C-alpha cells in the first residue's frame, strides 16, 4: 500500500465536502468516481464542481482545462460500481456512526484488501468507524477542511489499528493533490485543529456566562489586539452555535450556559438570522477596536496552549504540526506553540495554576508536559527553548519561511498561504535573519516566492503588528534593506497578488518575473497610510515620479502586462511558461561570475544615490578590481575557445 499504487479514487458523498474532495482530486490528475444515494444529490454536486473549475479556469488557476478536469470525474449511485476499481476510497457521508458502519461494512465486501479506506469525519473517532472492518489496519482519517478547494490543510489521522504503511500512503497522496498534510498520530477527539479551537470559543463563552466579560469585549480583543481573523463569538455564529454545542455534548465536555441558552432558543447564528449577534434587525458582528476593554486574553490563550501541550506531550502531534494545523485550518496569525514560546511558558503555567486553584475546574488543570517544560527551564524564546529550540548560531527554526540551498541557488518561500503570505512581524524577522546570516560563499543567487496559488505576498498583515509601538513602525523594516543589500542577485517569482508590503519586498529584489494573472499595487493610501518599507522611494527610482505617484496616490492595482510596460517587472509570461522563464534567469545568475555580480549590484545600488561623477568613479573602481580576478581569465579563455565559462568566484 503506497502512493504509487493509487491511480483511481472513489469519494462517497456529493455534498459540500464530497464534491469538494472530488474536485481537488480530479484537479490533481486522478480519475475519480463520486457516489451518492440519489441522482439529484449527484447532479447538484457535479454542477457545483463544474461551476467551480470553470471559474478557476477563468482566473488561470488550473493547470489543465476545465474540460480535462471534468473528464476525469465519473458519477454513480451504485456503491459497488463506485469502489470496484478504486485504490483509495474517501467516505464523506453525514456524521452518523451507524451510517458509516453500514458503508464500511459494504466497503470491506466490495474492495480488495489493498484498497486504502479513509473517512473525512470531523468529529467521530476513526477507531469507532473502523470497527465495522476486519482489516482495520487500512482505515485512516483524511480530514479535509471546508471548502476543500480553498483550504490547504488535511489531517491524516491514525485509528488504533491504522498501519504506518496506510498512514504514509495517505500522507503522500495528500501531498500529491497539492494539499498540506499533518499527522495526527493518536485518535483523540477533535484531532489537532478542533482540540485547539475548542478553548478559543469555549472559554470566552464561560467568561460571558459568568459576567466576567461581554461578547464585544472578547471579539474585539482577540481580533484587534491578538490578531485572530475572527472573534470567538463571530466564529461561532459563522459555523453554527449548535455545531460546537453538539461536539461538546458528544465529548461529554462542559457546555457554557450562554451556548446552551442560544441553542435552546433556536438562535444558532447566521443561518437563523440571530445568534450571539443579530443579523436580521441588527448589524451583525459590529464590534470595534475600542470595545476591547480589559478582556483577559491570556486566560483564553493559556487554555489553548495547555491543549497544545496535551497534543505534543501525548505524542499526538509535533509542535510544527500543531502550528501548521491552526495556521492553515483556522487562519491563526501564528502557531499556538510559537505564540506560547513568545508569551513564556512559565507565565502560561502560572495563569493556569491560579485559575485552577480559584475555580477547581478541570479545564484549567495544567498538562504534565507543560509543567515538565517549565521545570526544565524551557520557558520559551528568551530561555532558548520551549516547545521549540532556539539556537542563535544556526539558521532558523523558521515557522513562516521555507528555504533550500542547492547548487548555489537559495530558494526562499513565504509560507503563510492561509493569509495570502502577508508579512507579519515574525515573517519579516525571519527574512531578515536568513538573508543576514546565510553563508553567501555558498550562494550564487536567491529567489523569493509565495506558497499557495493565490499570492506572492498580499501585503502587511496588520493584525501581526497589533502590539507594536507606532514609533517602532516608523523605521524602515530591516528585512527589505537586507534583501536589497544582499551580496547576490535576488529574483522575485511572482504568481498572483503582489500588493503593499509584498510589492515592497519584490522591489527590494533585483529582478522580478511574474505570471500574466498577477496584479500589483500600493493600496496603503486607501487605509489612510503610505508604503512604509521603502515603497515610495523604490517605486520612484524604478518607475519615475509620474507613474510611482499614480500607483501610490490612487491605490489602484495594475496587471502584469502593464507592470512590464512600465518597467516594474522584467517579464510578464503565461503561467505555463513561468517556470521555464524563471529557470532561464536563474541559470544565468547561478552560472555567472559571483564577484562581478556582487560588485555590479553594489555599484548599481549605491550609484542611485550618488552624483553621476561619483557613480562612474565607483564603476571604474569595480572594473579595476575585477580585472585581476581568475574569473576574468576564465571568461576570456572561454570566449576564445567558444565554450561556456565555469566561474568559481576567485
List the catalytic residues.
504, 524
Give the up-direction half-sphere exposure of residue 519: CA atoms within 13 A in the CB hemisphere: 13
What is the DSSP secondary structure assignment for residue 380, as one 8-state letter?
Answer: B
In this structure, are strands 139-144 and 490-494 parallel, antiparallel, or unpaired? Answer: unpaired
494: enclosing H helix or E strand: strand 490-494
**Separation of alpha carbons 108 and 98, rounded Å:** 16
- Grid coordinates of 146: 471546508
**Separation of alpha carbons 126 and 140, rounded Å:** 6
What is the DSSP secondary structure assignment for residue 385, as one 8-state letter?
Answer: B
Q: What are phi and psi of 467, to 5 degrees?
A: -95, 0
185, 22 contact by CB (below 8 A): no
512, 570 contact by CB (below 8 A): yes
Which residues, other chains included, contact 632 with Cβ-Cβ below 8 Å and sequence gap of 6+?
593, 596, 626
**Of residues 450, 451, 500, 453, the one with CA closest to residue 480:** 500
320 SS3 class? helix
β partners of residue 278: 274
Handedness of CA 257, 260, 262, 268 (dihedral sign): positive
**Separation of alpha carbons 614 and 41, rounded Å:** 74
What is the DSSP secondary structure assignment for residue 389, as one 8-state letter?
Answer: B
537, 508 contact by CB (below 8 A): no
Annotate 128-158 with b (16+ C-beta within 10 A) or e (fewer): ebbbbbebbbbbbbbbbbeebbebbbbbbbb
- Grid coordinates of 305: 496552549
Give 522-581 as a DSSP string: -GGGGGT----SSHHHHHHHHH-HHHHHHHHHH--EEEHHHHHHHTSSSEEE-HHHHHHH
β partners of residue 497: 455, 519
Q: How far is CA 153 from CA 183, 300, 349, in A?
A: 11, 24, 30
**Separation of alpha carbons 131 and 117, rounded Å:** 13
Helix axis angle for 193-209 and 319-330, nearest 10°, is: 70
User: Using omega within 30 degrees of 0 as the cis cutoff, is the peptide bond preceding 496 cis?
Assistant: no
Amino acid at each position: 500500500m503506497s502512493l504509487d499504487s493509487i491511480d483511481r479514487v472513489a469519494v462517497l458523498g456529493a455534498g459540500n465536502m464530497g464534491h469538494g474532495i472530488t474536485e481537488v482530486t480530479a484537479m490533481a490528475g486522478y480519475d475519480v468516481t463520486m457516489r451518492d444515494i440519489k441522482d439529484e444529490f449527484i447532479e447538484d454536486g457535479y454542477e457545483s464542481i463544474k461551476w467551480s473549475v470553470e471559474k478557476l479556469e477563468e482566473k488561470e488557476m488550473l493547470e489543465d482545462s476545465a474540460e480535462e478536469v471534468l473528464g476525469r470525474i465519473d458519477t454513480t449511485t451504485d456503491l459497488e460500481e463506485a469502489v470496484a476499481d478504486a485504490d483509495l476510497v474517501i467516505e464523506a457521508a453525514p456524521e452518523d456512526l451507524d451510517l458509516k458502519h453500514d458503508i464500511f461494512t459494504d466497503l470491506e465486501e466490495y474492495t480488495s484488501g489493498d484498497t486504502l479506506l479513509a473517512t473525512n469525519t470531523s468529529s467521530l473517532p476513526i477507531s469507532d468507524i473502523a470497527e465495522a472492518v476486519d482489516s482495520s489496519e487500512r482505515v485512516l482519517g483524511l480530514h479535509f477542511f471546508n471548502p476543500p478547494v480553498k483550504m490547504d490543510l488535511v489531517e491524516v489521522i491514525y485509528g488504533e489499528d491504522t498501519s504506518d504503511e496506510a498512514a504514509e500512503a495517505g500522507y503522500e497522496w495528500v501531498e500529491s493533490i497539492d494539499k498540506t498534510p499533518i499527522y495526527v498520530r493518536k485518535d483523540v477527539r477533535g484531532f489537532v485543529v478542533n482540540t485547539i479551537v475548542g478553548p478559543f470559543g469555549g472559554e470566552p463563552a464561560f467568561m460571558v456566562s459568568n459576567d466576567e466579560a461581554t461578547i464585544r469585549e472578547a471579539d474585539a480583543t482577540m481580533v484587534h489586539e491578538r490578531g485572530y481573523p475572527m472573534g470567538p463569538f463571530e466564529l461561532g455564529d459563522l459555523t453554527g452555535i449548535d455545531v460546537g454545542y453538539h461536539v461538546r455534548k458528544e465529548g461529554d465536555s462542559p457546555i457554557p450556559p450562554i451556548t446552551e441558552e442560544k441553542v435552546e432558543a433556536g438562535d444558532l447564528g447566521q443561518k437563523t438570522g440571530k445568534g450571539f449577534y443579530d443579523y436580521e434587525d441588527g448589524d451583525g458582528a459590529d464590534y470595534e477596536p475600542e470595545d476591547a476593554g480589559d478582556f483577559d486574553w491570556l486566560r483564553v490563550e493559556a487554555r489553548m496552549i495547555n491543549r497544545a501541550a496535551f497534543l505534543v506531550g501525548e505524542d499526538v502531534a509535533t509542535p510544527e504540526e500543531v502550528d501548521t494545523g491552526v495556521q492553515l485550518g483556522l487562519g491563526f496569525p501564528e502557531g499556538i506553540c510559537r505564540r506560547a514560546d513568545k508569551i513564556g511558558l512559565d507565565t502560561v503555567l502560572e495563569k493556569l495554576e491560579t485559575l485552577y486553584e480559584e475555580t477547581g475546574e478541570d479545564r484549567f488543570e495544567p498538562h504534565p508536559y507543560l509543567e515538565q517544560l517549565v521545570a526544565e527551564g524551557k520557558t520559551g524564546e528568551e530561555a532558548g527553548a520551549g516547545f521549540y529550540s532556539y539556537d542563535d548560531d544556526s539558521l532558523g527554526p523558521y515557522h513562516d519561511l521555507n528555504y533550500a540551498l542547492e547548487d548555489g541557488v537559495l530558494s526562499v518561500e513565504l509560507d503563510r498561504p492561509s493569509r495570502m503570505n502577508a508579512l507579519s512581524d515574525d515573517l519579516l524577522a525571519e527574512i531578515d535573519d536568513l538573508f543576514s546570516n546565510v553563508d553567501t560563499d555558498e550562494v550564487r543567487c536567491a529567489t523569493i516566492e509565495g506558497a499557495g496559488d493565490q499570492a506572492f505576498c498580499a501585503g502587511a498583515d496588520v493584525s501581526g503588528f497589533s502590539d507594536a509601538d507606532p514609533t517602532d513602525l516608523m523605521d524602515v523594516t530591516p528585512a527589505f534593506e537586507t534583501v536589497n543589500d544582499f551580496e547576490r542577485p535576488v529574483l522575485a517569482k511572482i504568481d498572483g497578488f503582489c500588493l503593499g508590503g509584498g510589492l515592497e519586498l519584490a522591489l527590494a529584489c533585483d529582478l522580478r518575473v511574474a505570471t500574466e494573472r498577477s496584479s500589483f499595487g500600493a493600496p496603503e493610501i486607501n487605509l489612510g497610510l503610505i508604503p512604509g518599507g521603502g515603497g515610495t522611494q523604490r517605486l520612484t527610482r524604478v518607475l519615475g515620479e509620474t507613474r510611482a505617484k499614480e500607483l501610490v496616490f490612487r491605490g489602484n492595482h495594475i496587471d502584469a502586462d502593464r507592470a512590464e510596460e512600465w518597467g516594474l517587472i522584467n517579464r510578464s509570461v503565461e503561467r505555463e511558461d513561468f517556470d521555464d522563464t524563471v529557470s532561464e534567469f536563474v541559470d544565468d545568475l547561478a552560472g555567472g561570475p559571483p564577484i562581478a555580480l556582487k560588485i555590479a549590484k553594489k555599484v548599481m545600488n549605491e550609484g542611485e544615490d550618488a552624483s553621476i561623477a561619483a557613480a562612474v568613479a565607483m564603476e571604474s573602481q569595480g572594473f579595476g578590481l575585477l580585472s585581476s580576478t581568475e574569473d576574468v581569465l576564465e571568461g576570456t579563455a572561454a570566449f576564445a575557445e567558444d565554450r561556456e565559462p565555469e566561474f568559481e568566484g576567485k
